[in-house]
Chains A and B, each alone.
Chain A
Amino acid sequence: MPIEILMPALSPTMTEGNLAAWNVSEGDNVSSGDVICEIETDKATMEVEAVDEGVIGKILVPAGTEAVAVNAAIAVLLEEGEDASALDGYAPSVGGTTPAAALAAEAVAASAPAASATPASAPAPASTGSRIFASPLARRIATDKGLDLTVVSGTGPRGRIVKRDVENAQPGAQKGAAPSVASAHAAPITVDDPVFANMPDFEVVPNSNIRKIIAKRLTESARDVPHFNLTVDVEIDKLLQVRKDINEREGVSYKISVNDFIVKAVAAALVAVPDCNVAYTDNAILRFNKVDVAIAVAIEGGLITPIVKDAANKGLVALSNEVKELAGRARDGKLMPEEFQGGTFTVSNLGMFGVKGFNSIINPPQGGILSVGAGEQRAMVKNGELAIATVVTLTLAVDHRCIDGATGAAFIKELKSLIEAPITMMI
């Protein structure tokens, strides 16, 4: 019997994706592990490998198709000894209702459990990096309702999600978040809006998935999160000297950037002021035990925020290498979901463009974001005399629901002192 290859779920929240490209054609032999196609999700393009071996009998969803539902059949694989006649009378399954055996494709990004998922199981939560504890019954009810278990709070033993937690939850609900107020807003403007008639001719650039996500999330943040900003100038002459000393050591292959130092300092400052390493929810403020720093990286058509996990416990060299490696893959669109989803705090640096200082919009549910301007020599008054110092302007934006002014100030003061005396970062 021909095996259906299904649209894989590359993250727990993924419901659809774009089929970007086919790497195989009908009639090609494939064996387990061969890359057969590329799927574009919210933020990344991922390669899908074949799980079974056989001959591609038919490609059901052509390359370039948008919004293909998870679990929809995208191709059919003929097993050994079968030929195209096996497809006579074949009708593809539709998303979400296919039998277990048909789940033949598996994303590189998702780990093994996804491949063996039966219709009874929720999508494997592997790509979030942590296991979701939920009873089998809760999982099944959630699947039937289309409910994302990652946003459900468990009330069973040790926070296990049980029947009562999912029975009344609504699909699309956010863990602890305020109810959506979208209906209160004006309808979004579209291409055919008359206002454009009196404007110059234009080229229509369709919104990519990533553009849609940026638009949606940052609109929500700017609208729903009460931001306030704290600005401070930081002298980096000492830091530059330390950086020079480190980078000019003989025989070393690393090159640590000023931004690496700042990321390291942010992590250390958040450890010192844990009340800024938080997320706001309606029932509680979540204070994280580790600092995962997200770093805004510009990529073609948008931006993405790869995450340096547990940055406070990483040395400068390890941190620097990790940032470079993540940023490189981010630009190639090769990040896995768990590498850019999450993070407890973001650093955004526009210094390389000569920007002196700026305000950023928080990436919820994070509690804060630091904007880093250009390092430049400025005239400073020190001890009543004019002096020259290399200065960077840092602007902290925080969510006032969980971080108050004095708390934010404590953080930025700690950050300034760490950067100005970089040796203290080693403590």
Chain B
Amino acid sequence: MADTNFDLIVVGGGPGGYVAAIRAAQLKMKVALVEANHLGGICLNWGCIPTKALLRSSEIYHNMQHAKNYGLTVEGLGFDLDAIVKRSRKVSRQLNGGVGHLLKKNKVTVFDGYGKLNGAGKLHVEKDGKGIADLTSKHIILATGARARELPGMEPDGKLIWYYKDALVPDLVPERLLVIGSGAIGIEFASFFHTLGSKTTVVEMVDRIVPAEDAEISDFLLKSLTKDGMEILTSAGVKALKKGKGTVTATLEVGGKTEERVFDRVIVAAGIVGNVENLGLEGTKVKVDRTHIVTNEWLETGEPGVYAIGDVAGAPWLAHKASHEGVLCVEKIAGTKGLHPINPDRIPGCTYCRPQIASVGLTEAQAKDRGLKVKVGRFPFQGNGKAIALGEAEGLIKVLFDDKTGELIGAHMIGAEVTELIQGYGIAMELETTEAELMHTVFAHPTLSEMMHESVLDAFGRAVHF
């Protein structure tokens, strides 16, 4: 009989759960991890990673299409969708195996099944409807993640109406594609298929795309995508989808007028709901609010000994936020000294459309809502030598400082490789630098990162190259 009593049980093996389990093992806890599908969770298997693999293919394809700009000749340019998808799946598989190895190395016991709370300190594990284990522990972390919100009448069918899982393994590049929702997921898929040749329409309910970003970034992206031939409909909705033979007729509502349009495929990316069902939460003091488990700043739920981290515990739905919460939650359980709750104003976010978007901290509107007087700096890619040499002169870096203290409170970027730049500002924020230290920092030339310097200088009227 295998040992069933643990110092900690983690339910869910995504970037929140497996990181929590490893951290706990490092702290000498005896840890069980319960995962029903894939180690690595959505992120690694059906989210962040495989989409990056797809987008890398479309990026290279895009560059090859523009080879002439670089003095290169490409003949017979084309792509093999099947091979693109295979590569993406292979990348996921490789990383999935890596997580399994890490858990083994850290002596985390992995249970392959669904976990369900079964009274205080007890977890029942089921596989294919049959109980396979009953575990006990004083501490149980729920890290069950989230899934796409299904819109009524627009449920995924895997054929004509795709959700992210279907869109990750497409059988064709649709000639006419409708994307519902312009958040990170929607805009990344739109970018991928548009680059591969789909005539793409994006419908967004609110008045701007990527609505979580700074309004200036939304505007910049709108102009860039529109210039590229993508159709963007904001303040718009999809009233109905009518499936035909190989096509879908969508009833769109734009500016108070409805019109019917025919598409070959539809991707629905209209938000996220937490995986809170079948967890045995009934009868516990765990509170659920709009499909997400309610926790305090230490990730504790209303039920003693039960914690929730990552997507199931609410926005922002980001893998790195889940991992960080996992570590904090475990260290709190272990009684580690000097812990502080996660500061939501210092969690960066990246979107891999083309051009890329990256941001950390407050948007200008959020800063104003908080009554902060801000100093704003901007620097365009056109003013940067490296960007011009790369042939990527389209982009913008915007920074916000608290006028009173000189604290860097927000950074918003759009353009080539900005997802690799944002962490410079992330570190600066965590170290609580002011504009003075950023100005004193020597940035290497020629790099895109010089724009980060110039943007800071601009906030204080000192930009040199623009």
A residues with a Cβ closer than 8 A to B are 118, 120, 135-138, 140-141, 144, 155, 157, 162-163
Given A118-B436, A136-B432, check contact A141 B405 (CB 8 Å).
yes
Residues of B within 8 A of A138 (CB): 432
Interface bin, chain B: 10 to 19
Residues of B within 8 A of A162 (CB): 432
The 8 Å CB contact of A120, one of B338, B432, B434, is: B434
Residues of B within 8 A of A163 (CB): 407, 432
**How far is A163 from B405 in the complex, measured between Cα atoms in Å?**
10
30 contacts between A and B (CB under 8 A): A118-B436, A120-B406, A120-B434, A120-B436, A135-B431, A135-B432, A135-B433, A136-B431, A136-B432, A136-B433, A136-B434, A136-B436, A136-B437, A137-B405, A137-B406, A137-B407, A137-B432, A137-B433, A137-B434, A138-B432, A140-B405, A140-B406, A140-B434, A141-B405, A144-B404, A144-B405, A155-B338, A157-B338, A162-B432, A163-B432
Nearest-neighbour CB distance to chain B for A137, whole angstroms, equals: 4
Nearest-neighbour CB distance to chain B for A302, whole angstroms, equals: 41
Tell whether B340 is near chain A: CB-to-CB under 8 Å. Answer: yes
Chain A contact residues: over half helix, strand or loop, or mixed? helix
Residues of B within 8 A of A141 (CB): 405
**Which parts of B112-136 form the interface with A (CB within 8 Å)?**
none
CB 8 Å contact bits of B394-423 with A (1 = contact, 0 = none): 000000000011110000000000000000
**How far is A90 from B352 in the complex, measured between Cα atoms in Å?**
57
Find the B residue at minimum CB distance from A158: B338
Besides the known contacts A136-B434, A137-B433, 16 further A-B residue pairs in the complex with CB atoms under 8 A apart? A135-B432, A135-B433, A136-B432, A136-B433, A136-B436, A136-B437, A137-B405, A137-B406, A137-B432, A137-B434, A138-B432, A155-B338, A155-B340, A157-B338, A162-B432, A163-B407
**How far is A363 from B39 in the complex, measured between Cα atoms in Å?**
63
Residues of B within 8 A of A118 (CB): 436
Find the A residue at minimum CB distance from B431: A135
A-B contacts at CB below 8 angstroms, number:
32
Residues of A within 8 A of B432 (CB): 135-138, 162-163
Residues of B within 8 A of A144 (CB): 404-405
Residues of A within 8 A of B437 (CB): 136
**How far is A155 from B338 in the complex, measured between Cα atoms in Å?**
7
- The CB with the most chain B CB atoms within 10 A, among A138, A140, A157, A162, is that of A140
**How far is A157 from B340 in the complex, measured between Cα atoms in Å?**
10
Q: Which 8 A-B pairs have the closest CB atoms?
A: A135-B432, A137-B432, A120-B436, A136-B434, A137-B407, A136-B437, A136-B433, A137-B434
**How far is A155 from B437 in the complex, measured between Cα atoms in Å?**
22
- The CB with the most chain B CB atoms within 10 A, among A120, A136, A157, is that of A136
Nearest-neighbour CB distance to chain B for A381, whole angstroms, equals: 56
Residues of A within 8 A of B405 (CB): 137, 140-141, 144
Residues of B within 8 A of A157 (CB): 338
Residues of A within 8 A of B404 (CB): 144
Find the A residue at minimum CB distance from B408: A137
Find the A residue at minimum CB distance from B437: A136
Find the A residue at minimum CB distance from B407: A137
Residues of B within 8 A of A137 (CB): 405-407, 432-434
**How far is A218 from B434 in the complex, measured between Cα atoms in Å?**
41
Residues of B within 8 A of A120 (CB): 406, 434, 436
Nearest-neighbour CB distance to chain B for A160, whole angstroms, equals: 9
Nearest-neighbour CB distance to chain B for A212, whole angstroms, equals: 34
Nearest-neighbour CB distance to chain B for A56, whole angstroms, equals: 32
**How far is A137 from B405 in the complex, measured between Cα atoms in Å?**
7
Residues of A within 8 A of B433 (CB): 135-137
- The CB with the most chain A CB atoms within 10 A, among B338, B404, B432, B433, is that of B432
Nearest-neighbour CB distance to chain A for B426, whole angstroms, equals: 15
Find the B residue at minimum CB distance from A120: B436
Residues of B within 8 A of A135 (CB): 431-433
Nearest-neighbour CB distance to chain A for B46, whole angstroms, equals: 36
Residues of A within 8 A of B340 (CB): 155
Find the B residue at minimum CB distance from A164: B340
**How far is A219 from B375 in the complex, measured between Cα atoms in Å?**
48
Nearest-neighbour CB distance to chain A for B337, whole angstroms, equals: 11
Find the A residue at minimum CB distance from B402: A137
**Which parts of B429-445 form the interface with A (CB within 8 Å)?**
431-434, 436-437
**How far is A380 from B433 in the complex, measured between Cα atoms in Å?**
69
**How far is A144 from B407 in the complex, measured between Cα atoms in Å?**
13
Find the A residue at minimum CB distance from B434: A136
Find the B residue at minimum CB distance from A157: B338
**How far is A140 from B432 in the complex, measured between Cα atoms in Å?**
10
**How far is A162 from B434 in the complex, measured between Cα atoms in Å?**
12
Residues of A within 8 A of B338 (CB): 155, 157
**How far is A162 from B346 in the complex, measured between Cα atoms in Å?**
15
Nearest-neighbour CB distance to chain A for B460, whole angstroms, equals: 12
**How far is A10 from B432 in the complex, measured between Cα atoms in Å?**
27
Find the B residue at minimum CB distance from A138: B432
**How far is A155 from B340 in the complex, measured between Cα atoms in Å?**
9
Residues of A within 8 A of B436 (CB): 118, 120, 136
Find the A residue at minimum CB distance from B433: A136
Find the B residue at minimum CB distance from A135: B432
**How far is A118 from B406 in the complex, measured between Cα atoms in Å?**
14
**How far is A135 from B431 in the complex, measured between Cα atoms in Å?**
6
**How far is A201 from B340 in the complex, measured between Cα atoms in Å?**
64
**How far is A319 from B325 in the complex, measured between Cα atoms in Å?**
54
Nearest-neighbour CB distance to chain B for A114, whole angstroms, equals: 17
**How far is A118 from B434 in the complex, measured between Cα atoms in Å?**
13
Nearest-neighbour CB distance to chain B for A145, whole angstroms, equals: 10
Nearest-neighbour CB distance to chain A for B342, whole angstroms, equals: 14
Nearest-neighbour CB distance to chain B for A237, whole angstroms, equals: 52
**How far is A137 from B407 in the complex, measured between Cα atoms in Å?**
6
Find the A residue at minimum CB distance from B428: A136
Nearest-neighbour CB distance to chain B for A87, whole angstroms, equals: 30
